Structures are given as structure tokens and as C-alpha cells.
């Protein structure tokens, strides 16, 4: 399986920069342009959090708008980070993940770092 991985996109509201004046929205748009332009096999796109900076619905809506530029038919998998809000994410991406309606199907994990190892426990 070949996957593309975009880490820590930290999307902001339009025309907002991160504290170091970095335009994270432009960086994600550019990454999508590169994925669209390349002629190689990608089986899935993994986007790991923090997906957005402040965990608000408007940022997730902007993230979704940017991701709609993806013109390849590949699944997009998300891993939320500590800046992300699962409820705000769920409301915006409900059309892509109808199973979110059933909260009992959601599995939450806790991350523990121990001597260089990362363990996921649920």
C-alpha cells in the first residue's frame, strides 16, 4: 500500500497566520496541488493532527474546503491531535463519516510515551 502523509497541517480561518507568521493554509493547499499533479499510485492520504489550530467549526469547514481541491479518488484518513475537537470535527465532516452519528462506534485512544515507545490504549 502506498500512502501520502500530511502531518500537522494546523489549518486556520482564511487569511489568518500561525504565531510565527507561517501560512499553514497555503502549505496544505500546496501539498494538495503536489498530490494532484504527481503521476504515481497513492492508495490513501493520511492526515495527522493537529488538523486545525483552535478546534473550531470554521477551521474544520476551511480544512474541508481545501481538501475538496483533491482531484484524485483516494480515501482520506484523519488522526486528530490535541488541538482538535472531535465534536466540531464530527459536525463538519458528518457527510463523509455517517457512522459518527453513533458515538458508541467511536474509539478514543490515550497516548503514552515510555522510553522511546509509543503505546495506544483504549
**CATH code: domain of residue 7:** 3.60.21.40
Q: What is the pLDDT of residue 1?
A: 75
Residue 116 has pLDDT above 70, yes or no: no
How long, in residues, is the chain?
122
Predicted confidence (pLDDT) per residue in 18-40, tens digit: 999 999 999 999 999 999 987 87
Instruction: Give this prediction's pTM.
Output: 0.80
Residues spanned by the domain of 113:
3-121
- pLDDT above 90 as % of the chain: 51
Give the count of domains, the chain: 1
What distance in Å separates the CA atoms of residue 45 and residue 65, rounded to the nearest whole number?
16
Q: Which of 92, 98, 68 is nearest to 80 (CA)?
A: 92
**How does the average pLDDT of the chain come out, rounded?**
83
CA-wise closest residue to 25 among 35, 36, 38, 15:
15
pLDDT at 99: 58
Amino acid at each position: 500500500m502506498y500512502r501520502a502523509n500530511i502531518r500537522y497541517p494546523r489549518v486556520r480561518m482564511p487569511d489568518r497566520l500561525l504565531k510565527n507568521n507561517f501560512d499553514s493554509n497555503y502549505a496544505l493547499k500546496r501539498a494538495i496541488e503536489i498530490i494532484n499533479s504527481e503521476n504515481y499510485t497513492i492508495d490513501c492520504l493520511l492526515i495527522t493532527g493537529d488538523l486545525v489550530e483552535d478546534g473550531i467549526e470554521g477551521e474544520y469547514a476551511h480544512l474541508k474546503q481545501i481538501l475538496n481541491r483533491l482531484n484524485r479518488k483516494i480515501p482520506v484518513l484523519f488522526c486528530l491531535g490535541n488541538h482538535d475537537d472531535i465534536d466540531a470535527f464530527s459536525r463538519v465532516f458528518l457527510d463523509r463519516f455517517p457512522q459518527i452519528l453513533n458515538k458508541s462506534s467511536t474509539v478514543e485512544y490515550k497516548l503514552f510515551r515510555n522510553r522511546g515507545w509509543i503505546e495506544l490504549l483504549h
